[in-house]
Amino acid sequence: MSEVSAGVPGASGRGRAGRLSAAAGTLLGCATAFAGLVYFAAAGALLGAFLLWPRTRVSARRLLVAGARRLAEVERWRRSVFFGDRFPAHRASDQQVLRYLAGRVSSGLLCAVVTALLGFGLVLAGLLAVGVARATLGWGELLTQAVLGSVLLFLNVQGLFSLAALDARLAREYFGPGERELLRRRIGELAASRAAVVRAVDRERRRVERDLHDGVQQRLVALAMLLGRARRTRDAGRADALLAQAHREAGEVLAELREVAWRVYPTALDSVGLREALGGVAERCPIPVRVAYEVSGELPSPVETAAYFVVSESVNNAAKHSGAEGIVVSVARRDGVLTVRVRDDGCGGADPDGGGLAGLRGRVAAIDGMLDVHSPAGGPTTVTAELPCA
């Protein structure tokens, strides 16, 4: 905290206040741990027989857990007030409540013992100072007491820090991650998704380069050769045939170039929308594709683009590798989430970490979406993407 607030007036005061608040929360934790011990002892004495009898076990356990939940709420309040933790709404199971409270009682009581030893050490240090002031201690005895006291002080302080960390870890495991932990996780997710997007873009660039080099470029070379042969021939009929062949080749080149451009970005999304663009994917697929589109209103542009590429890549993979006889595509928006599902009746066995699907996962993660691939051996293969529309 001192590094973050360096140079800010009053920052050191806030730091001292935070440390004092944490110390007060730790001491209060010792008291609540003792209260938990008393509760377990009283509950064991009053409910022990009922917990052992099968007919009353459920009701007795319900009473035991109800009290434990109240004590757990006191611990939540203590962590929030004195340590500044903010936990998400979370209702743990009965077993988790009892496990947390048992762990909290153990760590809190141990913390009370360590704190008492620290206080006892401070009293001894005061007596030692009085002895030095009255000159009743020799230098050898003073040095021995100072070394021993320093070691015990170090062990006490380290024990308190370890128990405080244990208290925080128990709270995170029971109440859920706090705001700082959630922020740390979010930063990690963003860094991972950014790296995935970079890899996906590089993979797409390489594929476009390969398509242009191996497909369009070769066809353009063949077209140039046909036109050259037509220019050199002296037979008019032969020239007409070569020109007709060159005309067909030019049409195929344009179609393939258009296909490559659509892989980069489907312009139909801007002109006719996602529904018609998916219809174009279905028309170009060599096997039957049925599209169920249940979306009303407009979608954000990044969501439309991600949904299109999920469908396009999944359909292309199914057509090339699955041996499927039919594909079903469903697109629906409910509760602010666009769900895209592509299912084929092929042989299955798709690799979720393969190049194409990994690129899709990175593209979907870039807009905080999720991609799931279920493809058991023998099929069917189902690719499901959930894209937030907010």
H or E stretch covering 245: helix 236-264
Q: Is residue 108 one of the residues assigned to a domain?
A: yes
- pLDDT in the model for residue 6: 32
pLDDT, average across residues 362-366: 78
- Rounded Cα distance between 56 and 54, Å, is 6
Tell which of 235, 264, 293 closes a domain.
Answer: 264
- pLDDT in the model for residue 335: 82
**Are 33 and 147 in the same domain?**
yes
- For 7-65, the pLDDT digits (tens) are 333 333 446 777 888 888 888 888 999 998 999 899 888 888 888 888 888 888 888 88
**Are 260 and 312 in the same domain?**
no
Q: Is residue 318 one of the residues assigned to a domain?
A: yes
Q: Which ranges constitute the DSSP H helices of 84-214?
A: 94-133, 139-175, 179-211
Residue 309: C-alpha distances to residues 90, 139, 264, 302 (Å): 36, 81, 10, 11
Q: DSSP string spanning 89-110?
A: -----HHHHHHHHHHHHHHHHH
**Are 283 and 165 in the same domain?**
no
- For 258-277, the pLDDT digits (tens) are 666 666 666 667 777 888 88
**Are 257 and 294 in the same domain?**
no
pLDDT(204) > 70:
no
Range in 72-81, 101-110, 206-215 the model is least confident about: 206-215
**Beta pairing partners, 373:** 383
- pLDDT in the model for residue 110: 92
- pLDDT in the model for residue 5: 34
Q: Is residue 1 one of the residues assigned to a domain?
A: no
**Are 227 and 337 in the same domain?**
no
Residue 49: C-alpha distances to residues 45, 327, 376 (Å): 8, 62, 51
- pLDDT in the model for residue 259: 66
Q: Is residue 148 one of the residues assigned to a domain?
A: yes
Q: Is residue 192 one of the residues assigned to a domain?
A: no
pLDDT band at 355 (very low <50, low <70, confident <90, very high): low
374 or 176, greater pLDDT? 374
**Are 256 and 289 in the same domain?**
no
Domain range enclosing 164: 11-176
Q: DSSP string spanning 334-366?
A: ETTEEEEEEEE-S-----TTSHHHHHHHHHHHT
- Rounded Cα distance between 24 and 164, Å, is 12
Contact 203, 353 (CB under 8 A): no
Apex CA 7: angle with CA 4 and CA 9, to 5°? 105
**Are 327 and 251 in the same domain?**
no
214 or 70, greater pLDDT? 70
pLDDT(296) > 70:
yes
- pLDDT in the model for residue 129: 77
Contact 104, 170 (CB under 8 A): yes
Instruction: State which amino acid sits at residue 179.
Output: E
Listed in sequence order, the residues at least 6 apart from 229 whose beta carbon sits closer than 8 Å to its beta carbon are 242
pLDDT(357) > 60:
yes
- pLDDT in the model for residue 248: 82
- pLDDT in the model for residue 231: 82
Q: DSSP string spanning 305-332?
A: HHHHHHHHHHHHHIIIII--S-EEEEEE
**Are 34 and 133 in the same domain?**
yes
Q: Is residue 181 one of the residues assigned to a domain?
A: no
- Rounded Cα distance between 91 and 149, Å, is 46
Residue 354: C-alpha distances to residues 351, 376, 380 (Å): 5, 15, 17
- For 170-202, the pLDDT digits (tens) are 888 788 765 666 677 778 777 776 776 666 666
Percent of the chain predicted with pLDDT > 90: 4
- pLDDT in the model for residue 10: 36
Tell which of 176, 206, 235 closes a domain.
Answer: 176
pLDDT, average across residues 280-293: 87
Listed in sequence order, the residues at least 6 apart from 308 whose beta carbon sits closer than 8 Å to its beta carbon are 266, 269, 274, 277, 278, 281
Residue 11: C-alpha distances to residues 15, 80, 81, 83 (Å): 6, 21, 20, 17
**Are 258 and 277 in the same domain?**
no
Q: Is residue 242 one of the residues assigned to a domain?
A: yes
Listed in sequence order, the residues at least 6 apart from 145 whose beta carbon sits closer than 8 Å to its beta carbon are 128, 137
Select, from the ranges 93-97, 135-139, 332-336, the one with the highest average predicted confidence (pLDDT).
Answer: 332-336
pLDDT, average across residues 78-102: 81
The domain total for the chain is: 3
Listed in sequence order, the residues at least 6 apart from 355 whose beta carbon sits closer than 8 Å to its beta carbon are 203
- Rounded Cα distance between 120 and 152, Å, is 11
Q: How far apart are the first and last CA of the chain?
A: 34
**Are 28 and 153 in the same domain?**
yes
pLDDT(4) > 60:
no
Q: Is residue 252 one of the residues assigned to a domain?
A: yes
- Rounded Cα distance between 146 and 144, Å, is 5
**Are 278 and 242 in the same domain?**
no
**Are 252 and 277 in the same domain?**
no
Tell which of 245, 264, 283 closes a domain.
Answer: 264
Range in 74-88, 249-263, 273-287, 310-324 the model is least confident about: 249-263
- pLDDT in the model for residue 341: 92
pLDDT, average across residues 160-176: 85
